[in-house]
Structure 1
Amino acid sequence: MEWKNLFRGLIMGISDLIPGVSGGTIAVILGFYDRLLGAVSGFFSKDWKQHIGFLLPLAMGMGTALVLLSRLIHYLLEHHFVPTQFFFMGLILGVIPYLVKRVDAKHNFAFRHWIILLIAAVLIASMVFVNPDRSAEPMTTLSFFSVLGLFFSGWLASMAMLLPGISGSLVLLLLGVYSTAIHALSTLNLPLIAIIGSGVAVGFIVSSKSIRYLLARYPHMMYALIIGLIIGSTFVVFPGFAPDFGTMVASIITFGSGLGLTTFFSAKNKG
C-alpha cells in the first residue's frame, strides 16, 4: 500500500469540494497525474491487482476529506471567502510554469497549440459570467428523473475532476446540484451519496481511458489544452479585490502560501 496517497487523497478531496479548483490540477502539482490516470484506467483490466495499493489509500483520503471537511470548506467559503479563494489561486497559478517547462512549450508548441490554449482559456474564463444560484435548496425527495440527473451530473463532474483546470464542483454548480451534493456529504445522506458517487465512478472509468489515450497520442495538443484550462480557471476562482485592509493582508498571505506550496512540490517533482 502506498500510504503517502492518504495525504494526496486528502488534498484532492478538499480541492474537489470547492467550485473552481480541480483535483486533476492538484494531482499535477503533487507530481502523480500520469500515474493516477494509468491506475484508474488499469484498475478495470486483468492487471487490476497492480493498482489497488495505489488507488485504495488515495480513495480513503479523498473520502475522508469529502465527509469530514465538507462543513469546514463550507464555513471557510461562507466566512473567509476571499482569502480562501486567493489561496487556491496561488496553487493554480503556480503550476503553470511547471507544465510549460515540462512540455517544453517554447520548442514544441506550434501556432495551432497556442490557438487551442487561448480558446480553452477564454472558454473557461467565460464561466465567470455564469451566475448559478449557490443558495439553491438541496433535493430532499427523489424521483426517477432526479436520480438520472444526479447520476449523470456525477459522471460529468468526474470527467472534470480528472482533467486539470476544470473543477468537478464547478460543473455540479453549473448543473444546479452542488448544494445537493454538499448537503448529502455534510448530513451523510447515503442514498444521494450513492447515486452521485456511482456516476463519479463510471465517469472515472470512461474518462481516464480517454484522457490517457489522448495524452499518449497528442501530448503537445493536450498540454496546450490543459494549460489553457488552468489559466482560464484562475478567472473563475478570482473572488475580486479585498474589501478591507485586513482581508487584503490575509489574502496576500494565503495567495503566497498557495504559490509557495505549488513551487515547492513542482521543484520536488522536477524531471
Structure 2
Amino acid sequence: MEWKNIYRGLLMGISDLIPGVSGGTIAFILGIYDRFLESLSKFFSKEWKQQLPFLVPLGIGIGIALLGFSRVIDFLLTKYETPTMYFFLGLIIGVIPFIAKQAKVKTDFTFGHFIVLTIVAILLAFTAFIVPDTSVITKLTVGKAVFLFFAGWLASMAMLLPGISGSFILLLLGAYHTATNALSTFNIPIIIVVGLGVALGFIVSSKAITYILHHHRVLTFSVILGLIVGSVFVIYPGLPESGTPLVMSIVAFVTGLIVANIFNEVGEMEEQKEAL
C-alpha cells in the first residue's frame, strides 16, 4: 500500500469541498494526476487488483476529508462567507502559474489555444449570473433522488478535471448545500444517492478524460486554464464592507495565496522525485 497517498487524498478531499478548487487540480500539482486517471480507468477492468495499493490509501484520505471537514466548510460558508470565498480566490489564483508552467503555455500554446482559453473563461464567467438554489434537501422523493444522482454524476466528472471542481458544479445545480449538509449530518440516504452518481461518473469519464489528455493535451490544457480563470469571476463575492470584514477578507485572500504556493512547492518536489 502506498500509504503516503493518505495525505494526498486528504488534500484532494478538502479541495473537492471548495467551490472553484478541484481535486484534480491538487492531484495535478502533487504529480499524481496521470496515474490517478490511469488507476481509476484500470480499476474497472481485469487489472483492478493492481490498482488497490494506489487507490485505497487515496480513497481513505479523501473519505476522511469529506467527513471531517464538510462541517467546517459548511460553518465557514454560513458564518464567514465573504472571507471564506476570498480564501478560495487566493487558492485558485495562486495555482494558475503552476498549471500554466505544466501546460508549457509559453512554448506550446498558439494563438488558437489562447482563443479557446478566453472563450471558455467567458462562458464560465457568465454562469455567475445564475442564482443557485440554496435550499437543503433532507428527505428524498423519487424526483429529488434522480436529481441528486445526476448532480453527483456531473460533479464527479468535474472532480477529475483540473480547473473546475465538483463542488462548483453542485453549487450551479443547487445541490451543494444539500451535499455538504448531508455529509455534516450523516444523512445516509442522500450520501448514498449522490455517491452512486459520483461512482458512475468516475467510471464513464475517467477513460474519456485519459484519452483526451493523451491525444489533445495542449488543447485540453487551454480548456483547463480557461475553466480556472472563469471560476475566479464566478466565485468572486464582491467587495467586502470596510472595517473588520475587509481586513478578514484581505487576510483570507493572502492566506489562500500562501497555501497555493505551498501546494506548488510540494508539486515541484514531487516532480523532482519522479525525475530521479
Query: What TM-score comes out, normalization by structure 2 length?
Result: 0.90
Contact map agreement 1:90 1:259 (CA 8 A) in 2: yes
CA drift of 1:14 comes to 2.0
Kindly provide the amino acid, as one letter, of the partner of residue 165 in structure 1.
G
Kindly provide the amino acid, as one letter, of the partner of residue 112 in structure 1.
G
Q: Aligned equivalents of 1:217 and 1:264: distance in 2?
A: 31
CA drift of 1:75 comes to 0.7
Q: Aligned equivalents of 1:63 and 1:208: distance in 2?
A: 19
Kindly provide the amino acid, as one letter, of the partner of residue 138 in structure 1.
I
| Change over 3 Å in CA distance of 1:101–1:183 after alignment to 2 | closer
CA drift of 1:52 comes to 1.1
* Aligned residue number for residue 172 of structure 1: 170
Q: Aligned equivalents of 1:267 and 1:59: distance in 2?
A: 23
* Aligned residue number for residue 262 of structure 1: 260
Which range is displaced more, 165-174 or 67-76?
165-174
Contact map agreement 1:21 1:165 (CA 8 A) in 2: yes
* Aligned residue number for residue 46 of structure 2: 46
Query: What is the identity percentage for the equivalent residue pairs of Structure 1 and Structure 2?
Result: 53
Contact map agreement 1:121 1:232 (CA 8 A) in 2: yes
Contact map agreement 2:133 2:175 (CA 8 A) in 1: no
CA drift of 1:250 comes to 2.5
Q: Aligned equivalents of 1:147 and 1:138: distance in 2?
A: 10
Contact map agreement 1:31 1:265 (CA 8 A) in 2: no
* Aligned residue number for residue 100 of structure 1: 100
Q: Aligned equivalents of 2:104 and 2:213: distance in 1?
A: 15
Q: Aligned equivalents of 1:18 and 1:265: distance in 2?
A: 15
Kindly provide the amino acid, as one letter, of the partner of residue 142 in structure 1.
T
Which range is displaced more, 239-248 or 72-81?
239-248
Could you list the runs of 5+ residues in structure 2 that have no partner in the other structure?
A: 272-276
* Aligned residue number for residue 140 of structure 2: 141
CA drift of 1:27 comes to 2.0
* Aligned residue number for residue 66 of structure 2: 66
Contact map agreement 1:25 1:92 (CA 8 A) in 2: no
Could you list the runs of 5+ residues in structure 1 that have no partner in the other structure?
A: none
* Aligned residue number for residue 247 of structure 2: 249
Mapping 1:233-248, distance limit 5 Å: 233-248=231-246
- List per-residue Cα deviations over 1:202-259 (Å, max 9, x = no partner): 1011111111110000010001110111111111222222213323333222222222
In the alignment of these two chains, the number of paired residues is 269
- List per-residue Cα deviations over 1:134-167 (Å, max 9, x = no partner): 1x13141322x33222211111110011112222
* Aligned residue number for residue 15 of structure 1: 15
Kindly provide the amino acid, as one letter, of the partner of residue 140 in structure 1.
K
Contact map agreement 1:165 1:232 (CA 8 A) in 2: no
Contact map agreement 2:132 2:172 (CA 8 A) in 1: yes
Q: Secondary structure at the match of 1:15?
A: helix
Contact map agreement 1:21 1:237 (CA 8 A) in 2: no
Contact map agreement 1:155 1:203 (CA 8 A) in 2: yes
* Aligned residue number for residue 227 of structure 1: 225
* Aligned residue number for residue 84 of structure 1: 84
Kindly provide the amino acid, as one letter, of the partner of residue 164 in structure 1.
P
| Change over 3 Å in CA distance of 1:190–1:241 after alignment to 2 | same
Contact map agreement 2:133 2:173 (CA 8 A) in 1: no
Contact map agreement 2:21 2:91 (CA 8 A) in 1: no
Query: What TM-score comes out, normalization by structure 1 length?
Result: 0.92
Q: 2:209 aligned with 1:211, yes or no?
A: yes
* Aligned residue number for residue 120 of structure 1: 120
Runs of 4+ in 1 over 3 A off after TM superposition: none
Q: Aligned equivalents of 2:62 and 2:162: distance in 1?
A: 17
- List per-residue Cα deviations over 1:82-119 (Å, max 9, x = no partner): 22212221221122111222222122111211111011
Q: Aligned equivalents of 2:85 and 2:120: distance in 1?
A: 21
- List per-residue Cα deviations over 1:29-66 (Å, max 9, x = no partner): 33322222122112112222222122112211221222
The Cα RMSD (Å) is 1.8
Kindly provide the amino acid, as one letter, of the partner of residue 264 in structure 1.
I
Contact map agreement 1:9 1:57 (CA 8 A) in 2: yes
